[in-house]
């Protein structure tokens, strides 16, 4: 199976194991809850899907790489305690709580989430002294004398023996107590993830052309060379950082992530071409409709007369620019939704009343602007505190925190504008805030409109330059596999998309898009 299918199986298993009856008791007997055992080549995305499942299912996640552990840290340390047996006091050995089990309880305490995933990576590469304890854990779900808490799914992962000399083969007794899932690399599945993560356009465009370079491993006595999904993602991040800082990207840098000389060299050459074409074609200007007809005709001629690789590179540039615009749309919509929720809380404080006086005291600051004591400022302070607490507890990623922070910044602007206008009454303040919010809605709607127009202009350029050839098929296929694009098209429509998807995509791909569109609409 591929990594997407494995992720869905983990979700299905969670739902089955965590199902409760009307009295709140788990209905799936613990003794029959087999741990999942994912086996696949390194860097394929096993750890990444654990994070995704935990986030999407709103459960806890504790991850451990077992090669970093000794028997003592996994099982616990022995201690002598006194016990009475048959009226006689005797000294016996017990074990302190395992560091791993303790981490599960700490996660529950920190996040308040009583259910989750305990993920143990590289489980088949543990030391000789730890191996018996790991086998016991998979069979009995205990470390030492301590069980994994109810409501926690055990997922283990490992690499096949061809990739690691330390791999230990599980015996039949152990394999009969786990659910073994063999994972294979799949570029199309990874592309869906890559669009969502905003992977660098040069990486996506290159892999559209050179699919065979997505995953490569040679592990022999003479040579160890490899390229993995993890390597491409990490390379994407360093490329973006170097570009932001104005640091030159070298072939040596790329080899540090793509540890196969030919692929690294080939991508390094392609990256320079991609950067040059990004300037030469002026993709943002084409999508904005800001080029004169003459200049656009020149760009069309360049694209039409380019080599096959040049034409696919131009397609990749369009996809990257559109994805960046779709990310802005997503963030804007999230910010608007969060802002609405926060303002509803604010409105309720007016209706219900609270400890803050209704008549605000007003005093000028050093710039002569009236400052309203209490109300809105206090609400902003509480929202900032809540955001900080959730970030510290690991409940928000950087991407999730961004629209939250932007919504709070909007309220800070509202607060400043109210003080500049010397509006002090709560009801009057909130009426003005409603006007501010409506302006925010209009900005978001304009952003959606401009993005829809950019999508149509991209289709128009592609059609004039390439017709319905391989470039258009790639363009439509990648839009179909991009969750943001699917959601946007489902909500706002795009006639050229449906024209070419009906014409070019196999029935299965079209069904996938239609399903994605339905899911996007249902989630709104």
From residue 300, alpha-carbon distances to 316, 323, 463 in Å are 15, 22, 10
46: left (phi > 0), else alpha (psi -120 to 50), else beta? alpha
Give the tens place of pLDDT for each residue, 228-246: 888 999 999 999 999 999 9
Phi, psi of 443 (to 5 degrees): -65, -40
Read off the pLDDT band of 371 (50, 70, 90).
very low
459-488: average pLDDT? 90
Distance of CA 458 to the CA centre of its chain: 27
Check if the beta carbon of residue 71 is closer than 8 Å to that of residue 129.
Answer: yes
453-461: average pLDDT? 95
| 173: exposed, middle or buried (Cβ count in 10 Å: 0-12, 13-18, 19+) | exposed
pLDDT score at 521: 46
Token output for 201 = 């356009």
431-449: average pLDDT? 92
**From CA 204, how far away is CA 315, in angstroms rounded?**
11
**From CA 293, how far away is CA 299, in angstroms rounded?**
10
Nearest residue to 215 (alpha-carbon basis) of 205, 225, 200, 201: 225
DSSP states of 339-392 as a string?
HHHHHHHHHHHHHH--SS-SS--EEE-TTS-EEE-SHHHHHHHHHHHHHHHHHH
Give the tens place of pLDDT for each residue, 118-149: 898 887 776 666 777 777 777 777 777 778 88
pLDDT score at 93: 66
- Residue 30, pLDDT above cutoff 90: no
Nearest residue to 279 (alpha-carbon basis) of 327, 321, 329, 240: 321
Read off the pLDDT band of 94 (50, 70, 90).
low
304-324: average pLDDT? 91
Nearest residue to 198 (alpha-carbon basis) of 226, 239, 165: 239
Lowest-pLDDT choice from 221-225, 271-275, 331-335, 474-478: 221-225
- Residue 380, pLDDT above cutoff 70: yes
| 258: exposed, middle or buried (Cβ count in 10 Å: 0-12, 13-18, 19+) | buried
Read off the pLDDT band of 319 (50, 70, 90).
very high
Check if the beta carbon of residue 175 is closer than 8 Å to that of residue 124.
Answer: no
- Give percent of the chain with pLDDT exceeding 90: 31
- Residue 364, pLDDT above cutoff 60: no
pLDDT score at 374: 55
């Amino acid at each position: 199976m591929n990594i997407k299918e494995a992720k869905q199986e983990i979700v299905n298993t969670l739902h089955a194991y965590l199902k409760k009856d009307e009295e709140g008791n788990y209905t799936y007997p613990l003794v029959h809850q087999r741990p999942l055992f994912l086996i696949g080549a390194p860097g394929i995305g096993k750890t990444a899907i654990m994070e995704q499942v935990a986030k999407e299912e709103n459960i806890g996640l504790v991850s451990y790489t077992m090669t970093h552990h000794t028997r003592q840290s996994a099982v616990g340390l022995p201690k002598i305690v006194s016990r009475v047996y048959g009226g006689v006091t005797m000294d016996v050995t017990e074990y302190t709580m395992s560091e791993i089990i303790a981490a599960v309880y700490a996660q529950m305490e920190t996040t308040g989430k009583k259910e989750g995933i305990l993920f143990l990576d590289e489980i088949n590469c543990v030391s000789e002294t730890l191996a018996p304890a790991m086998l016991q854990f998979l069979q009995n779900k205990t470390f030492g004398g301590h069980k994994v808490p109810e409501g926690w799914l055990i997922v283990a992962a490992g690499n096949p023996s061809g990739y690691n000399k330390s791999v230990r083969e599980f015996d039949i007794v152990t394999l009969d107590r786990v659910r073994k899932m063999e994972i294979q690399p799949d570029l199309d599945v990874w592309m869906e993830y890559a669009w969502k993560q905003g992977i660098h356009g040069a990486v996506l465009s290159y892999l559209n052309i050179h699919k065979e370079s997505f995953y490569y491993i040679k592990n022999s006595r003479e040579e160890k060379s490899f390229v993995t999904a993890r390597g491409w993602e990490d390379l994407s991040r360093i490329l973006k950082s170097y570009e932001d800082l104005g640091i030159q990207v070298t072939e040596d840098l790329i080899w540090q992530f793509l540890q196969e000389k030919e692929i690294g060299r080939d991508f390094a050459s392609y990256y320079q071409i991609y950067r040059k074409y990004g300037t030469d074609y002026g993709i943002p200007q084409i999508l904005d409709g800001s080029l004169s007809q003459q200049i656009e005709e020149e760009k069309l001629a360049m694209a039409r007369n380019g080599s096959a690789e040049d034409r696919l590179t131009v397609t990749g540039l369009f996809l990257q620019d559109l994805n960046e615009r779709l990310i802005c749309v997503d963030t804007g919509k999230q910010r608007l939704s969060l802002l609405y929720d926060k303002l509803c809380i604010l409105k309720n404080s007016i209706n219900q009343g609270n400890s803050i006086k209704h008549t605000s005291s007003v005093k000028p600051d050093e710039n002569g602007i009236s400052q309203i004591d209490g109300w809105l400022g206090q609400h902003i302070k509480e929202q900032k505190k809540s955001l900080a607490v959730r970030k510290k507890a690991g409940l928000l990623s950087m991407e999730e925190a961004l629209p939250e922070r932007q919504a709070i910044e909007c309220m800070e602007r509202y607060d400043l504008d109210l003080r500049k206008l010397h509006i002090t009454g709560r009801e009057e303040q909130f009426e003005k805030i409603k006007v501010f919010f409506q302006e925010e809605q209009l900005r978001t709607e304009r952003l959606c409109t401009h993005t829809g127009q950019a999508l149509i202009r991209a289709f128009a350029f592609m059609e004039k330059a390439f017709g319905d050839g391989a470039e258009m098929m790639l363009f439509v296929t990648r839009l179909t596999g991009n969750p943001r694009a699917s959601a946007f098209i489902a909500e706002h429509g795009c006639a050229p998309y449906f024209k070419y998807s009906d014409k070019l995509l196999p029935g299965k791909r079209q069904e996938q898009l239609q399903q994605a569109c339905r899911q996007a609409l249902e989630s709104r």
